[in-house]
Structure 1
Amino acid sequence: MDTARVGGRAITTDAESADAGVPEDVRHAVMTAVYDELTRWGLERFDVPTMCARHKIDESVVTKYWGDGSRLALEALLYWSNDVLTPPDTGSLRTDLQALATAVAEQVNDTVGRSLLRAMVVDDRAAFADDTRMAFWMRRFAGIRLVFDRAAARGELRDGVDTIAAMQLVLAPINVRALYTREPIADHYCAAIADLAWHAIAKR
């Protein structure tokens, strides 16, 4: 496990979740460069040759281990997401939703986090196809759905709940607010979102 610092913030990279065979010093240098590029320019202007030139990284090394910019950007975004957002396990759906909403808000309240969120907004000038963004969100949902799987096992979910829709009830309002304002997401707003989501999906 290694840690890169971007904008004063620690980004943890876990070798076990990464492609096998990438030396840790290489991963550290490349991931640090990717975060810097994404927070500066977003996905629309992310370019591997430019990144390598700016950060003095051998482009052939990046190509060898990651292939193309789409794959590299996706891996970097997944590292960022996994580092700061672990599915809560409080033993209760209601408090899990509150903890999840708070964690998402903390992520986008961070300057780097908000920049990376904005980097994924779909644009006609996008450097990558929408499948890069969709792959990120589906991988992120795959982790967060543990909250809902545990709740279902405890008998807390009502019948017929769509898991992805349930997750979006929590994530979407917070992310949209972060995209369209510069204001921090307050705790009371997170609590309100979590409570609305709980009332929508909890078994009575």
Structure 2
Amino acid sequence: MSETSVRRRPGGRSARVRRALFDATIEVLHQHGASGLTVREVATRAGVNEASVYRRFGTRENLMIEALLSHSEQLLPIPDTGSLHGDLVAFATEISAYVTSPLGSALLRVLAAAGDDPAVDRVREQFARGRFTLAGDIVTRAIARGELPDTTDARLVLEMLIAPLHLRALLTREPIDDEAPRRLADAIVRGFGARPDTTGAQHG
């Protein structure tokens, strides 16, 4: 068996340790917030030596960023339905379900909380940048299919989709109805001059 095969073996010890650390990090963030998270507590919950956490991630902030990105990739995968409208509806539906769940709502408040900790600010900024980069594939694919102009601002498209959902979850606390994802997708498709989605009834 090659060294590469060993390194990439699914379910190996390294993967299990990372999963345990990420799960523990999310638990601590949920309970104590970003400012209250310590590497020692995460390591203890995960059953891992504290020094090994620093060897793997370098800093507390890196650990939080990687844990949040891994968590979001699991629960909020970037959809690929074959159309811009379908992708937007699917992604908004995922986000709606997540931000209204107990854990998702709590983590959203953690990330949105104002504070004086520059390290936490960096976590929030880098996490958001990472998610926008991944979700930008929705727009990149739409441009390649000719659904959007090649000058389309991917971040603006995603902000227009996500912001109303976060507004309701964080500020107004209004329920997000089942039709909200489709209404948002319809508005974005029209607003950016996208080619009409003739298969919209199949997505959602």
TM-score > 0.5 by shorter chain: yes
Task: Map 1:55-204 onto structure 2 (within 5 A).
Answer: 57-126=48-117, 128-158=119-149, 160-182=151-173, 184-203=175-194
Which deviations, in whole Å up to 9, do the C-alpha atoms of 1:95-137 show, x marking residues without a partner?
Answer: 2211111111122122111111111114224362523212111
Alignment root-mean-square deviation, CA: 2.4
TM-score by length of 1: 0.80
Cα separation, 2, equivalents of 1:202 and 1:95: 16
Where does the alignment leave 5 or more consecutive residues of structure 1 unmatched? 1-14
Residue 23 to residue 124, structure 1, CA distance change in 2 (3 Å):
same
Where does the alignment leave 5 or more consecutive residues of structure 2 unmatched? 1-6, 196-204
C-alpha contact 1:44 1:127 (8 A) present in aligned 2: no
C-alpha contact 1:87 1:144 (8 A) present in aligned 2: yes
C-alpha contact 1:78 1:136 (8 A) present in aligned 2: yes
Residue 44 to residue 154, structure 1, CA distance change in 2 (3 Å):
same
Which deviations, in whole Å up to 9, do the C-alpha atoms of 1:145-201 show, x marking residues without a partner?
Answer: 111111111111145321111110101111222122555522112222222112111
C-alpha contact 2:17 2:48 (8 A) present in aligned 1: no
Cα separation, 1, equivalents of 2:13 and 2:102: 29
Correspondence for 1:24: 15
TM-score by length of 2: 0.80
Larger radius of gyration: 2
More strand by share: 1
SS in 1 for 2:16: helix
Aligned residues: 186
The list of structure 1 runs, each at least 4 consecutive aligned residues, that deviate by more than 3 angstroms after superposition, is 50-57, 181-184
